[in-house]
Amino acid sequence: MKKKFVIAGGITAVIAVIGICWLKRPELLGNMGNSYIEKTTLTSGISFQGDAGRRIKFSYKSDIESGRLDMVLYNSEGDEVYKLDRAKELECFFTLGNKDTYTLAAECSDFIGKYQVKVYKAGW
């Protein structure tokens, strides 16, 4: 009888942990990526709604063969609010200042290579 309670308690604990992990998982706000084999100069972007005080997470990978690639976050007025560091791989966080529509822009200049970036809601 005691063995059944231990097993039931173990199963309940596992279900609770899975449930908490599922609830705490980051929510994807958007993603973009491209690959260019010839020199390319252009800007691509993704937009998302953000609340004041909301932490967001950027998950970024790139393989830059030549040229320049800047990842810049703009508010709805076109003001730069955050610029991701240049890196081959990067995960970083930023706290939004205002409730607004934000745009993450991939600004390519004579760029050859590829990149992938995802934006998530992070914990408060």
Q: Mind listing the pLDDT tens digit for each residue in 94-109?
A: 999 999 999 999 999 9
Q: What is the pLDDT of residues 71-91, one digit of tens each?
A: 999 999 999 999 998 889 999
Domain that holds residue 85: 27-121
C-alpha–C-alpha distance, residues 71 and 15, integer Å: 39
Q: Model confidence at 22, in pLDDT bands (50, 70, 90)?
A: very low
Domain-located, residue 63: yes
* 18 occurs within a structural domain: no
Tokens of 16: 């609770």
Residue 80: inside a domain: yes
CA distance 110 to 70: 12
Q: Which residue has the higher pLDDT, 114 or 11?
A: 114
Torsion of CA 111, 115, 118, 124, to 10 degrees: -70
Residue 81 in any domain: the answer is yes
* Residue 11 belongs to a domain: no
Distance in angstroms (rounded) separating the CA atoms of residues 34 and 41: 13
Q: How many domains does the chain divide into?
A: 1
Tell whether 47 is covered by a domain. Answer: yes
Closest CA to 59 of 19, 35, 88, 80: 88
CATH number, domain with residue 84: 2.60.120.380
In a domain, 87, yes or no: yes
Q: Is residue 84 part of a domain?
A: yes
- Give the residue with greater pLDDT, 24 vs 55: 55
